[in-house]
Amino acid sequence: MQPRVETDSGNRIVTNATSLVDVSLSIVSHGHGNLVSKLLDDLRECIGTRVELILTRNIPEPLPASFADLPFPTRLIDNSWRRGFGANHNAAFSVARGRYFCVLNPDIRIAADPFGELVTELDDQRVGVVAPRVVNTAGLNMDNARRFPTPLSLLGKVLGTAAPLDYALGETTLSPDWIAGVIMLFRRDAFEKLGGFDERYFLYYEDVDLCWRLRCSGYDVRLVPSVGVTHEAKHASHRDVRYMRSHLRSMLRFLLTSRFGLTRP
């Protein structure tokens, strides 16, 4: 089948999409072609769930060679201008056809299909979003299950007195305050009801804000420790002043809009 070219507000969308999709995967690349290529190889080898892939190139870059022969439907969005995290994934959601919508960072590595167990968790209509356990390249648990930030908790991080993990991860499914945006699987109706990510956050805290709004709307947030992925994290905000400023602006926006984090949903 010949790819179909669509346009959306100046963006170019190329698709070979067909029907019968359970999970729509949204990946955004900012010059991360090498990481995307490795993730696509993972998906080709291990995914048994019926998925479609929506790949957004936020800046001009070569397309990974493996994109052309993936064993599931694909959509390519080429932005004509640079968009933020939330805007990119919201645009992907607007063309997604799956019953579930997954936000997936390029630097995630997947050794086994995580979506079967995650989708089962979303069979409970009270659950709006779910995530797997995330480990680093050394196999250590990362803090993708967190409590909502408050001025006091943020001070603890600055002073180095905060615990490395907000929740102890065992084998039991957790209901954390929020889960990190490196991998989030949403019920389609929940994501749509909330209007997706708040695009006023250009980078950072979009995941915190959306989980906050989900909880305020009566949805639960879950993490399933029995399912795992690996995150090749770079933590750019720790090294680049521009990212650090964006992180601080987003943090202040969330603290203000959530009444300084003192009003719990």
User: Among residues 255, 128, 151, which one has the least CA distance to residue 201?
Assistant: 255
What does pTM read for this prediction? 0.87
Query: What is the pLDDT confidence band of residue 150, given thresholds at 50, 70 and 90?
Result: confident
Structure confidence by residue, pLDDT tens digits, 198-241: 998 888 899 999 999 999 999 999 999 999 999 997 655 445 66
Distance between CA atoms of residues 177 and 240, nearest Å: 28
Which structural domain range is residue 19 located in? 4-261
Structure confidence by residue, pLDDT tens digits, 158-171: 667 677 788 989 98
pLDDT at 256: 79
The Cα-based distances of 242 to 59, 157, 262 in angstroms read: 18, 20, 28
Structure confidence by residue, pLDDT tens digits, 51-106: 999 999 999 999 998 898 899 999 999 999 999 999 999 999 999 999 999 999 99
Distance between CA atoms of residues 182 and 2, nearest Å: 32
Query: What is the pLDDT confidence band of residue 180, given thresholds at 50, 70 and 90?
Result: very high
Structural domains of the chain, count: 1
Dihedral pair phi/psi, residue 96, rounded to 5°: -75, 150
Distance between CA atoms of residues 114 and 95, nearest Å: 23
pLDDT at 16: 54
**Which domain CATH number covers 229?**
3.90.550.10
Distance between CA atoms of residues 110 and 244, nearest Å: 28
Residue 134: both structure tokens together = 């995330």
The mean pLDDT of the chain is 86
Percent of the chain surpassing pLDDT 90: 66
pLDDT at 19: 52
Query: What is the pLDDT confidence band of residue 262, given thresholds at 50, 70 and 90?
Result: very low
